[in-house]
Amino acid sequence: MQNLRSHNCSELNLNFIHQKVTLMGWVHSKRDLGGLIFIDIRDNFGITQIVIHPNSSFFNEASQVRQESVIQIKGIVAKREGAINQKIPTGEIEVIADFFQVESPSDILPFPIAHNPKQESEDTRLSYRFLDLRTEKMHRNILFRCQVIRYIREKMHSLGFNEFNTPILTSSSPEGARDFLVPSRLHPGQFYALPQAPQQFKQLLMCSGFDKYFQIAPCFRDEDPRADRAPGEFYQLDVEMSFVTQDDVFNVIEELMIGLFENNQFSQRKILPLSKFQDKYIKTNRKFPCIPWHDAMDKYGIDKPDLRYGLEMQNVEETFAHTQFAVFKNILESKGIIRAIVIPNSAQQSRKFFDDADAYAKDVGLGGLPWLAVKDGEWKGSIAKQLSDAEKKALGNQLKLEPNDTVIFIIGKEKLKSQTAGGKIRNYFAEKLNLKDESSWAFAWIVDFPMYEFNEDEQKIDFSHNPFSMPQGGMEALQNKNPLDILAFQYDLVCNGIELSSGAIRNHRRDVMKKAFEIAGYSESDVENKFGALWNAFAFGAPPHGGIAPGIDRMIMLLLNEPNIREVIAFPLNQKAMDLLMKAPSSVSEKQLKEIHIQLKHE
């Protein structure tokens, strides 16, 4: 019990009949029925119906109170005489008010909070975010976020991890996205950077002898916004472990994800009271499948495949090795690729259906979308007459075609470009034919990423992923293999076509670090200057270590089935990276600029 209220607005029920109670909250809605005023009062926990009789001394005041005003009421709990509301815990009772007081009146609202069927513009919602957060959906989303983070913390502690906090003001990194820079007042002309991630600090903690680290870490990247990426700042579950292999990291994260995403875990803790998730299940078994990066690109055309449906691309180049079909023959002679995707039981689709798909294929960079269908025992389709009977039979055997199946072909001279387009085609058909299993979570590990890639613009070799990763084969691979053939102990966790996290087994040796950066064009002095802390730490005995960093915002977005990441963040920036509520970014005074030795150049 608190001094200002005896109960919250969700806990009263038939057990409280005839008891005197005091409630405080916002006027959620108000109805005047036959002289009686009914007010639904709302707080963080729920809603209770209040009844005000016309002979009450405060009847006129109650009749004029606006929605979202804060009120205090006192009264007696009674069984409802009218319709029972089964949708709320207090739906069988009401409170007959004998005291009513407005604590804080509300102005006219810019948009309704209760029963608002119209979606306001995002800018309006963000300008009045404190009101938007009162709406049922947003209030539920943010409370759910709190509960998920609490679950993560408890789970990580139970697995033997310690929570550390790492610095927010640090040094600029030459890798990754653009930094947010903070000018130093005490050191003119020099800058701190907000951390893109606590990467070096968590590795230094392992070098300091702490075995298992985690942190709900704020990260800052000056990136353009997207639906699944917040501009400016985001939070990740930062994890690092000593004396581990890749599989050890996988085991920990799989146990955490199963607890987060599997329903019975939430229902036992009453963390996920949302009925739309009650039938969701984890599609894979207790060990998530591992898919090498090259296989993911070749089968799915993307390194974050959605495994809730099939439609894998299959290599059919050998089947057409001696083809006389000019289009396929030209592709093979140019060392291009031919991939086939089987669309089950789709031969009955109209010609327009496949013509639309052909137009989409051209939009995503393919020359078109050749197709075949087995319909009524005969071959139909755009290239049915161009292929020999022997080729059709061999194709049917390789792909194990069933009657009424359709085969579409992804062809192109540039392998990676064609694979990527094929991934978009795969998703196109899954969307059109409703093939995604919406009741499942389909997890997978993407492993064996290339250590390096070729930068066409600068005509040089660059790191393709995380420069602090251990190359597979260690120093021997760095010394003797073509850099573009070297794989790294790097991995991504994906779920339902969304990348949840990236991680790696780290390099922990100074000689390997020197050689790895040398291949990417860094001298030893460059490495020492840019990554001096790690460079020094590796000289004093560093353990084998590795980690990962699942995105908190993205996981919650997925759990709540929200298409936009701003729906799961309390105070996000908008699509233009602006805080409309606090008016940031904003100008500062000349005095402030002078203190940090900054002079603006006006153009």
Q: Could you tell me the sign of the dihedral formed by the alpha carbons of 409, 413, 415, 419, in that order?
A: negative
Question: Where does the pLDDT of residue 273 fall: very low under 50, low under 70, confident under 90, or very high at 90 and above?
Answer: very low
Residues 547/253, Cβ–Cβ less than 8 Å: no
Q: Average model confidence (pLDDT) for the chain? A: 92
Question: Where does the pLDDT of residue 103 fall: very low under 50, low under 70, confident under 90, or very high at 90 and above?
Answer: very high
- Strand-pair partners of 117: none
Instruction: Classify 200 in phi/psi space as left (phi over 0), alpha (psi -120 to 50) or beta.
Output: alpha
Question: Where does the pLDDT of residue 117 fall: very low under 50, low under 70, confident under 90, or very high at 90 and above?
Answer: low
- Any idea which of 209-213, 277-281, 282-286 has the lowest mean pLDDT? 277-281
Long-range Cβ contacts of 557-565 (<8 Å, 24+ apart): 557/228, 558/495, 558/496, 558/498, 558/500, 559/144, 559/148, 559/260, 559/261, 559/272, 559/277, 560/141, 560/144, 560/274, 561/276, 562/141, 563/227, 564/227, 565/227, 565/228, 565/229, 565/230
Residue 54: the pLDDT is 94
Over residues 559-583, the pLDDT tens digits come to: 998 999 999 999 999 989 999 999 9
pTM here? 0.90
User: Nearest to residue 519, comparing CAs of 570, 423, 453?
Assistant: 453
Region 346-367: what's the mean pLDDT?
94
How far, in Å, CA of 102 to CA of 65, rounded? Answer: 8
How far, in Å, CA of 35 to CA of 304, rounded? Answer: 61
Greater confidence (280 vs 146) lies with 146
Region 259-269: what's the mean pLDDT?
62
285 pLDDT more than 80: no
Over residues 378-431, the pLDDT tens digits come to: 899 999 999 999 999 999 999 999 999 999 999 999 999 999 999 999 999 999
- Strand-pair partners of 21: 75
Over residues 184-206, the pLDDT tens digits come to: 999 999 999 999 999 999 999 99
Q: Could you tell me the sign of the dihedral formed by the alpha carbons of 459, 461, 462, 464, in that order?
A: positive
Angle at 56 between CA 54 and CA 61, to 5 degrees: 90
Greater confidence (115 vs 152) lies with 152
The neighbour count for residue 200, using CB atoms within 10 Å, is 19
How far, in Å, CA of 367 to CA of 360, rounded? Answer: 10
3 pLDDT more than 90: no
How far, in Å, CA of 177 to CA of 601, rounded? Answer: 25
The DSSP code for 595 is H
Over residues 31-78, the pLDDT tens digits come to: 988 789 999 999 999 999 999 999 999 999 999 999 999 999 999 999
Domains along the sequence of the chain with CATH: 14-104 (2.40.50.140), 138-276+443-449+479-573 (3.30.930.10), 309-435 (3.30.1360.30)
Question: Where does the pLDDT of residue 280 fall: very low under 50, low under 70, confident under 90, or very high at 90 and above?
Answer: low
Residue type, 514: K
Angle at 302 between CA 299 and CA 305, to 5 degrees: 75
